[in-house]
Amino acid sequence: MIPDHIINQILDKADIAEIISSYMPLKRAGRNFRGNCPFHNEKTPSFMASPDKQIFHCFGCGAGGNVIGFVMKYERLEFPDAVELVAGKVGISIPKATSGYEPNRTENAKIHSANEAAVQFYHYTLLETGAASEYLKKRGIKEETIKKLKLGYAPSDWNAFLNFAKKKGIDVNILQRAGLALPGKDGNYYDRFRHRVIFPIYNNKGQVVGFGARVLDEALPKYINSPETPVYNKGSNLYGLNWAVEKIKEKDFVIIVEGYLDFLTPFQAGVENIAASLGTALTNGQVRLLKRFTKNVVMVFDSDSAGESASLRGLDIAVAEGLNVKVATLPSGYDPDKFVKEHGRDKFLKYIEGAADFFDYKCALLKARFKGNGVDSKAKIAGEMLNTIAKVPNAVSRSEYVKRLSQNLDVDPEALWIEIKKVRPDQRPSFDLGVTQTAETAKPVCLHVAEKMLLGLALDDHDFISHIRRHFKENQVREGNDFNVLLEAVCDFWNEHKTINMAKLINSTKNESHSKTMLDAYASVENIQDKDKCLKDCVKNIKQAQIKEKMKMLQQEIKTAQDTKKDSGYQAKLLSEYNDLIRQKVEVCPR
């Protein structure tokens, strides 16, 4: 667990507007910044980031939080990983405890440990096995590359690794959860990977999260990969990224290839700002991972139809995320592995330097597909191009691409603008934010509109806290009332820190529903000009509602007393209380 004082140091140094603007475009709007929300599809910006309070809030979908919460949601990270990522951005180092394999660690840690044991076993076995080493030698992979990337070999025995892991004291259930062992029909387990070359897959922090495994001959299936596990998601990792991160940041662009050998051959030839998409088109998760290190991408997929389709799918996703995308097209029949072997690093880099931007690449493909200059061909090309252009987040860039398309197709730009309005940008898919809540924290908070605004005023300016307290003594608010609970939390934070730092307040509030309500409350008063008048109106509204509620209860008691012929003195007492409430109501709301 990361100590609160370290988290608070990170929040003190982090500038929420600066960090969020590295993920999405923001425009200044008064004291705050606005933009299109990345957590739901919208055309009119409803997303707000406040440098003063160091929080974000979307008026459309209700998403909100501090900078760590934003990174969690955007990157789909667990809290500790998000804290570590933000810490890295602001130059704070988080101390890490290191230890060997222990039975009482978390499941994820145990899976990482099992993966490390697998790397150790497969790599040692490769170095001791001539057949697999010979195969890699034929593929041009040098021994220094094998050792640096910890390539391995899985023996043909059904339980070779399983026996090794048992000696290490690793539970077989953890091996199954890690995707390293499979259950047999007889109830016993066996190795998933057998008689294959092993490619360990690392996350960007250098932890082994999964494996790719290739046959040594032409048997099928050619590749077997780790399944989805608690630590591995294929669509959120890139092969080789951990080795390439520093060079990617240094050169400020990344070369994306498709497979393991497409990465290995250029990498050992000295092309070090490179990563592989694990045999698929780029995914949203992979693009968001890349955005941490660069906004410039050159894709080099196979020149066949499957490679072109992968390029187009990845291109659209990268464009929607605001990346500058180019595509390098190698000669027919070549992939990066084969090209670098036959023509070398320098010629490969010439193709990288000559990569076409996404507009020219896609336009050329579509013109080759829809041959001719007829109306039908132009309409089809325009439709496909506008689907991508509509995903460009920046309005100026989008306008320029429409102008280029107009000139390229010799079509009236006004016609293209009419068509682009029909395209649903769908820049980012809507998804479950994935916040794990207990029954307690998931319980909805019940506040009147006026209570919500009063809470917002207290969060906006601590001077309002004493005014609210003066108007509402403890006995005037229902016990257990959500407004009272939340106001108490705000007051306690103020008493301890003598300031209302929303980012730290949210971090200290472990109840998810309470945090969300506080954010909504703060956002509800953002644009109110006369906050003093708002305070008076809200107090009057709440007091009036409280009096009405008490009068309703007394009416029922009076009726019950009359129906049951209660003592006349008791009835007189109830009537006196009722008349007193009428007087209070007149005082609160004078005519």
Instruction: Pick the closest to residue 531 from 461, 590, 588, 484 (CA basis).
Output: 461
Instruction: Pick the closest to residue 114 from 62, 216, 189 (CA basis).
Output: 189
Q: pLDDT digits over 280-290, tens only?
A: 778 888 998 89
Q: pLDDT digits over 521-549, tens only?
A: 888 887 788 888 888 888 888 888 878 88
Q: What is each CA distance from 128 to 131, 133, 186, 525, in whole angstroms?
A: 9, 9, 32, 69
Q: Above 50 in pLDDT, residue 432?
A: no
* Sign, CA torsion 403/407/409/414: positive
Take residue 222 and report the two structure tokens written for it. 């050619």
Q: Above 50 in pLDDT, residue 400?
A: yes
Beta bridge partners of 214: 197, 223
The arithmetic mean of pLDDT across residues 193-201, rounded, is: 96
The strand pair at 356-357 and 64-65 is best described as unpaired
* Sign, CA torsion 419/422/427/429: negative
Query: What pLDDT does 443 receive?
Result: 54
Written as one letter, the residue type at 279 is G
**Which uninterrupted H or E stretch holds 201?**
strand 196-202
In the chain, how many H helices and how many E strands?
Answer: 26, 16
Q: Above 70 in pLDDT, residue 472?
A: no
Name which of 69-83, 133-147, 471-485 the model is least confident about. Answer: 471-485
- With H, G, I as helix, E, B as strand and everything else as coil, classify residue 489: helix
Q: What is each CA distance from 159 to 126, 208, 272, 369, in whole angstroms?
A: 16, 21, 36, 51
Q: Model-level pTM?
A: 0.65
Q: pLDDT digits over 548-576, tens only?
A: 888 888 888 888 888 777 777 777 888 88
As a whole number of angstroms, the distance between CA 380 and CA 370 comes to 7
The arithmetic mean of pLDDT across residues 473-494, rounded, is: 68
Q: Above 60 in pLDDT, residue 134?
A: yes
Query: What pLDDT does 468 receive?
Result: 79
Give 534 or 120, the one with higher predicted confidence: 120
Q: Above 50 in pLDDT, residue 415?
A: yes
What are residue 125's phi and psi, to 5 degrees? -65, -40
Beta bridge partners of 189: 183
Read off the pLDDT band of 407 (50, 70, 90): very high
Cβ–Cβ under 8 Å, residues 174 and 111: yes
Give 411 or 458, the one with higher predicted confidence: 411
Q: Above 80 in pLDDT, residue 395?
A: yes
- With H, G, I as helix, E, B as strand and everything else as coil, classify residue 142: coil
The arithmetic mean of pLDDT across residues 174-199, rounded, is: 94
Give 491 or 334, the one with higher predicted confidence: 334
Take residue 197 and report the two structure tokens written for it. 């070359």
Read off the pLDDT band of 583 (50, 70, 90): confident
As a whole number of angstroms, the distance between CA 118 and CA 168 comes to 11
As a whole number of angstroms, the distance between CA 227 and CA 49 comes to 38
Q: pLDDT digits over 48-99, tens only?
A: 999 988 999 998 888 888 999 999 888 777 788 889 889 988 888 887 653 3
**Which uninterrupted H or E stretch holds 177?**
helix 172-177
264: Cα separation from own chain's centroid: 29
Query: What pLDDT does 225 receive?
Result: 92
587: Cα separation from own chain's centroid: 52
Cβ–Cβ under 8 Å, residues 201 and 223: no
Tell me the percentage of the chain whose pLDDT exceeds 90.
Answer: 43
As a whole number of angstroms, the distance between CA 199 and CA 143 comes to 14
Q: Above 60 in pLDDT, residue 101?
A: no
Instruction: Tell me the range of 36-40, 370-374, 477-481, 499-503 where mean pLDDT is highest.
Output: 36-40
What is the number of other CB atoms lying within 10 angstroms of the CB of residue 324?
15
Query: What pLDDT does 242 receive?
Result: 92
Cβ–Cβ under 8 Å, residues 37 and 24: no
65 Rama sector, left if φ>0, alpha if ψ -120 to 50, beta otherwise? left
Give 361 or 520, the one with higher predicted confidence: 361
Q: Above 70 in pLDDT, residue 475?
A: no
Give 578 or 210, the one with higher predicted confidence: 210
Cβ–Cβ under 8 Å, residues 420 and 390: yes
What is the number of other CB atoms lying within 10 angstroms of the CB of residue 137?
13
Rg (CA), the chain: 31
Q: pLDDT digits over 302-359, tens only?
A: 766 676 777 888 898 999 888 999 999 999 889 999 999 999 999 999 999 999 999 9
Read off the pLDDT band of 498 (50, 70, 90): confident
Beta bridge partners of 33: 28, 49
Written as one letter, the residue type at 378 is K
What is the number of other CB atoms lying within 10 angstroms of the CB of residue 360?
14
What are residue 35's phi and psi, to 5 degrees? -170, 175
Cβ–Cβ under 8 Å, residues 547 and 588: yes
Take residue 405 and report the two structure tokens written for it. 């398309």
As a whole number of angstroms, the distance between CA 334 and CA 317 comes to 25
- Chain mean pLDDT for the chain: 85
Q: What is each CA distance from 380 to 220, 359, 404, 409, 554, in whole angstroms?
A: 39, 15, 16, 11, 73
Read off the pLDDT band of 405 (50, 70, 90): very high
Give 305 or 361, the one with higher predicted confidence: 361
Q: Above 60 in pLDDT, residue 427?
A: no
What is the number of other CB atoms lying within 10 angstroms of the CB of residue 523?
22
- With H, G, I as helix, E, B as strand and everything else as coil, classify residue 162: helix
SS (H, E, C) 265-291: HHHHCCCCCEEECCCCCCCHHHHHHHC
* Extended beta strands in 287-442, E state: 296-299, 324-327, 356-357
Read off the pLDDT band of 445 (50, 70, 90): low
Long-range contacts of 100-107 (CB under 8 A, 24+ apart): 101/168, 101/169, 101/170, 103/169, 103/171, 107/174, 107/177, 107/230
Read off the pLDDT band of 516 (50, 70, 90): confident
